[in-house]
């Protein structure tokens, strides 16, 4: 399998984070190790951004909430599970990210 670093442009990742959240920090680190195009939105202290996150994440309120393209992949545990299953790199490479 080809890693996303060896492919062309990667799918944009949007991650809603909260300051001092270890899961948010680890998710961002994992995505940066994959050379993902990450748009980090710090929503912990902004009610409007938090509401946007909750709406986009189908009611999920925990941090982080991660989107690859328009696809909601969930939180940190979900991201790690995708990576362990070998499904994260294809999503980042634009294969099925929608």
Question: Where are the domains positioned within the chain?
Answer: 10-92
% the chain with pLDDT above 70: 89
In contact, 14 and 65? CB cutoff 8 Å: no
Q: What is the mean pLDDT of residues 33-45?
A: 96
pLDDT tens track for 55-75: 999 999 999 999 999 999 999
For the domain bounded by 10-92, which CATH number is listed? 3.40.30.10
Mean pLDDT of 39-54: 98
Which tokens is 66 given?
Answer: 């991660």
Residue listed under structure tokens 């009611």: 59
| Entry pTM | 0.88
Residue 14: per-residue pLDDT: 98
Strands (E), the chain: 12-17, 37-42, 65-68, 71-74
For residue 95, pLDDT over 90 is answered with no
């Amino acid at each position: 399998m080809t890693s996303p670093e060896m492919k062309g442009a990667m799918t944009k990742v949007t991650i809603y984070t909260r300051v001092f959240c270890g899961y948010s920090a680890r998710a961002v680190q994992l995505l940066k190790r994959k050379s993902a195009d990450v748009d980090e939105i710090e929503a912990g202290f902004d009610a409007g951004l938090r509401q946007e996150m909750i709406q986009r994440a189908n009611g999920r309120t925990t941090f982080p909430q991660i989107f690859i393209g328009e696809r909601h992949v969930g939180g940190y545990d979900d991201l790690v599970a995708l990576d362990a299953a070998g499904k994260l790199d294809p999503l980042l490479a634009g294969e099925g990210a929608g």
